[in-house]
Chains A and B, each alone.
Chain A
Amino acid sequence: MTAGPIDTSSTSTATEPAVAAAPGQGVHSRRRRVGTLVGFGVLVLLLWEAVKWLGGVPWRFTDVLGTGLAIDYSPPFRFPFASDLTLPHWFNILGALAAPVQRNAQQSLGEFLVGAAFYTWREAAIGFALGALLGLVLATLFVHSRLAERAFVPYVIASQTIPIVALAPMIVYAFGPNVTSVVVIATYLTFFPVTIAMIRGLRAPDPRALELMRSYAAGRWATYRKVRLPASLPYLFTALKIAATASIVGAIIGEGPGGIPDGLGRAIINFNQQYISGPEKLWAAILVSSLLGISFFVLIRLAELGVLRGRPGAAER
C-alpha cells in the first residue's frame, strides 16, 4: 500500500471517529455564533423596553429638543415588575455606571465596580487555583485507590449538599473575618466539579492504552503523565469552566460574612440596602458581577483552546 492522499472513505476505527473540520468552516461558524449572540442581546434589550412601554410608569418629556413641546405617555398597563424601581431602564443602568459612585465623589460607579470586581477576582482566582489543585489531587488518589474512592467520594458529594450561605459564616468563624475565609469558600465551591470530572477524565483512556503502557513496563507515574493526564484534559477544562464561575459566586457570597469591604460582595449588600434611592446601582453591580464571571469563563476557554490545540473537536467544545 502506498502512502497516498488521506483516505477518508476508508473505515475509521470504532473508538474515535473524528472528522477534521474544513479550514474555512471555522471562521464562518464563529462569525455566525457572534452574530447570534449580539442579535440575542439586542433582542433582550428591546424586549426590556417593550415591557416598560406596555406596563411601566408614565413618561413625561417637557421641552423636547428645545421645541417647547411636551410629550406625555401613559402605558396601557401597570405591571408591578416593570416600574422604575423594579425594572429600571437599561440605559439608566448604563448611565449610573458613568455617574459618580456617591454624591460629590471623583470616582464613577463603573470605576468603583471594576475595582471591586478585580478585588473579588483575585480572591476567586486563588480559591479557584487551590480548588482545582485539590480536585486534581483527590481525583488522582481516587483513581489509584479503590479503597480511598469508596471511603471518601460519598463525603465529597455530601459536602456540596450543605448550603453555602449556611457554611460561609462558619468558615468565617473558623478562619476569621479576612480574605483567607473568602478564599476557602471559593475553594470549597471549585474543588467539587474538578474532582468529579477528573475521576472520569483520568479513567478516560482505553483499557488497551493502559495495557500498552504495561507492555512498555511503564510505571504508574509514567502512565499517569503520558496517558491518564493528557487524556483527562478535555474533562479538566470542562470542570474548570464551571469552577471559574463558581469561584466568583463563592467569593462574592463569602465577602459578606467575611467582612471584606473592597469587593463586589460588599457593594451588592450596600446597594441592596440603598435600593429604594437608586435601584440602578444594584443592577449595575449585578451586571459587573456577571461580566466578571463571564470574563473568567472566557479566560479559561482561551486557555483550553491553547492547550487542546490540534485535538479533534477542540474548537467545538
Chain B
Amino acid sequence: MEPTEIPVVRIAAVDKTFTSERSRVTTALQGIDLEIRRGEFVSLIGPSGCGKSTLLRLIGDLVAPTAGRVTINGKPADRARRDRDYGIVFQAPVLFDWRSVEDNVKLPLELMGFDAGRRTARAREMLDLVELGDFLHHHPYQLSGGMQQRVAIARALAFEPSILLMDEPFGALDEMTRERMNQEVQRIWERTGITVVFVTHSIPEAVFLSSRVVVMSARPGRITDVIEIDLPRPRDVETREQRRYFELVTAVREALRRGGADAALDPVGSAGGPTPVAAVGSIDRAAAEGGIG
C-alpha cells in the first residue's frame, strides 16, 4: 500500500448501540477500527449477534454509528452512499418478481438516470459476467436459488461501484452451490478489481475467498483478530485440499474460539440465529480436523 493512498473503507473508533422500544440498550459494536485498501477482499466472520452485518450496514450507511467515524473513499459514509460508491448483495436475492432478470439488473440504472441504450448494454454485460446471458427474459422465480443470487450480484455491479458489500450472500444455498458461487465471486473480483467486504458464517468460505479475514466476537461485537490469507491465486478446488488452506481454516477457527465464539458457532448452542450455517459449520470442522490430523 502506498502511504498516500486513501483507504477505500476507514472505520475509526466506531460504537453502535441499539435502543429498543422499552429503552433497553444493546451494544452491537464497540471500539471498531478497520481499514480496507483498494482491491482487497475482506471477510467479516463471527458468531450470530457479533454485529458483522451491522458493521457492513455501517459501511453502507444503512445504519448510522453511535460514536466514531465511517469514511468511504475519503468521504463520509452518507455522502458515499449518495454517490453510489457501493453495491450490496443480501442473503436473500431480493429480486422483484414483476421484473424480468434483465429488468431487475436495470433497476439501479433507471434510478441513476442511465439512458435506455446504456441500461441495456450494461445489464447484458453484467449478466454475461455472471453467466446468465441466456436468461434475460426469465422471471426470478423461474431460476434456482444460486442463479437468483448471481442476478443480485450482476445488479450490484451494474453501475460500476468501487465497493461490493455482501451480507452472507450464500448462506441460504446448499454446500455444492455455495462452492461454485465462491469460485464465481473470486473470478468476478479478479476480473473487476473491485473491493469486496464479505460477511459470512462459514470459515472455509472466508478463507477461500479473502485476502484478509476479520474475526469478531459477540456481546459486545468487537474485532478480536485479523488474519492475512496468503494462499496463491487463482484459487480453485485444489486450493481447498492444500495443507496451507487447512492451517488457515484452523487459525480462523482458533481465533473465533479465543473470542469466545465457539459456543455460538455451534449449531446446538446458538439460539435464534440463522440456521443454514449450522450444518456447514459441523461438516467442515470434521473435514478440516481430518485433513490436518
Contacts and interface: CB of A to CB of B under 8 A. Distances in A.
A286 interface: no
Give the contact-size bracket for chain B: 35 or more
B292 interface: no
Interface string B90-104: 101110111010000
A25 to B, nearest CB: 15
A196 B93 CA distance: 29
B257 interface: no
A310 B133 contact: no
B42 interface: no
A16 B81 CA distance: 28
Interface in A215-241: 215-218, 222, 226-227, 230-231, 233
A277 interface: no
Interface string B132-170: 111100110111111110100000000000000000000
Contact of B84 (A6, A216, A312): A216
A10 B184 contact: no
A15 B93 CA distance: 9
Contacts of B254: none
Contacts of B184: 1
A60 B188 CA distance: 89
Contact of B141 (A10, A213, A312): A312
B94 A208 contact: yes
Nearest to A211: B62
Interface string B183-213: 1100000000000000000000000000000
Contacts of A11: 144-145, 172-174, 177
Contact of A18 (B97, B133, B181): B97
Interface string A199-211: 0000000101101
Given A1-B183, A10-B144, A226-B107, A216 B94 contact: no
B110 interface: yes
B97 A311 contact: yes
B90 A1 contact: no
A72 interface: no
A231 B92 CA distance: 17
Contacts of B84: 216-217
Contact of A311 (B98, B107, B110): B98
B47 interface: no
Nearest to B90: A208
A215 B184 CA distance: 23
A212 B138 CA distance: 22
A13 B173 CA distance: 8
A217 B82 contact: yes
A12 interface: yes
A10 B173 CA distance: 8
A1 B250 CA distance: 28
Contacts of B141: 16, 18-20, 312
A10 B111 contact: no
Interface residues of A: mostly helix, strand, loop or mixed? loop
Nearest to A215: B88
Residue from A15, A215, A233, A312 having most chain B Cβ neighbours under 10 A: A215
Given A3-B133, A212-B90, A215-B62, A10 B97 contact: no
A65 B101 CA distance: 70
Contacts of B100: 310
B230 interface: no
B121 interface: no
A224 to B, nearest CB: 12
Contact of A226 (B87, B92, B111, B132): B111
A214 B177 contact: no
A316 interface: no
A312 B97 contact: yes
Contacts of B174: 10-11
Contacts of B86: 215
A217 B147 CA distance: 26
Contacts of A29: none
Query: Which of A6, A206, A213, A216: most chain B Cβ within 10 A?
Result: A216
Contacts of A214: 62, 81
Contacts of A212: 88, 90, 94
B39 interface: no
Given A211-B88, A226-B110, A10 B135 contact: no
Sorted from nearest, which 5 A-B pairs have the closest CB atoms? Answer: A18-B141, A10-B144, A7-B144, A1-B180, A312-B141
25 contacts: A1-B150, A1-B180, A1-B183, A3-B133, A6-B144, A10-B177, A11-B174, A13-B93, A13-B148, A13-B172, A15-B94, A16-B97, A20-B142, A208-B94, A215-B86, A217-B83, A217-B111, A226-B107, A226-B111, A230-B98, A233-B98, A308-B98, A310-B100, A310-B139, A311-B98
Given A13-B145, A14-B92, A15-B93, 12 more contacts: A1-B181, A10-B173, A11-B177, A12-B145, A16-B97, A211-B57, A212-B90, A212-B94, A216-B107, A216-B108, A311-B98, A312-B97
Interface of A: 1-3, 6-16, 18-20, 206, 208-209, 211-218, 222, 226-227, 230-231, 233, 308, 310-312
